[in-house]
Amino acid sequence: MECLRCDGKLEKKLATIEAGGISFTDEYFVCSKCGKMYPTKDQIKKMYESSSLRKLSFERKISMSGRTYVIRVPQTLEKLYEIQVGKKVKIAPLDAKRMLVEFE
Ligand SMILES: [Zn+2]
């Protein structure tokens, strides 16, 4: 497997991922060139199931970019959901105050 960011080789290594002030130590696929970590789906599931992670919430102000509204994503979530330019998400309204952002 190769790194999506730099084409470096992925190696399985014992490493720690920080998310929301919580450390998750496990054997992750890590890029030998840039150090980007690639947790597996099961590892990500384990992180989401951590009760302290589900208590996280962030407040952001809506800003404008041209004529489009922008909500900035906190770094913690950026890492957790592997957010990057070009990645597709589905957005769906849930009710009057909430909407769902789903990553593929
Ligand atoms: Zn890399």
Domain spans in the chain, listed from the N-terminal domain onward: 10-103
Give the residues across from 63 on adjacent strands: 70
Decide: helix, strand or coil at residue 79. Answer: helix
Cα of 77 vs centre of ligand 1, distance in Å, is 20
Cα of 5 vs centre of ligand 1, distance in Å, is 5
Cα of 50 vs centre of ligand 1, distance in Å, is 27
Report whether pLDDT(20) > 70. Answer: no
CA nearest neighbour of 31 among 16, 11, 17, 14: 11
* 28-78 residue pLDDT tens: 999 999 999 999 989 988 887 876 777 788 999 999 999 999 999 988 788
Cα of 102 vs centre of ligand 1, distance in Å, is 25
- Please tell me the distance from the alpha carbon of residue 36 to that of residue 3, in angstroms, as a whole number: 8
Which one has a higher pLDDT value, 89 or 77? 89
Which one has a higher pLDDT value, 21 or 44? 44
**Domain 10-103 falls in which CATH fold?**
Pemi-like Protein 1; Chain: D (2.10.260)
pTM equals: 0.54
Cα of 97 vs centre of ligand 1, distance in Å, is 38
- Alpha-carbon dihedral sign for residues 19, 22, 27, 31: positive
Question: Average model confidence (pLDDT) for the chain?
Answer: 89
Percent of the chain with pLDDT over 70: 98
Token code pair at residue 20: 């929301």
pLDDT score recorded for residue 66: 96
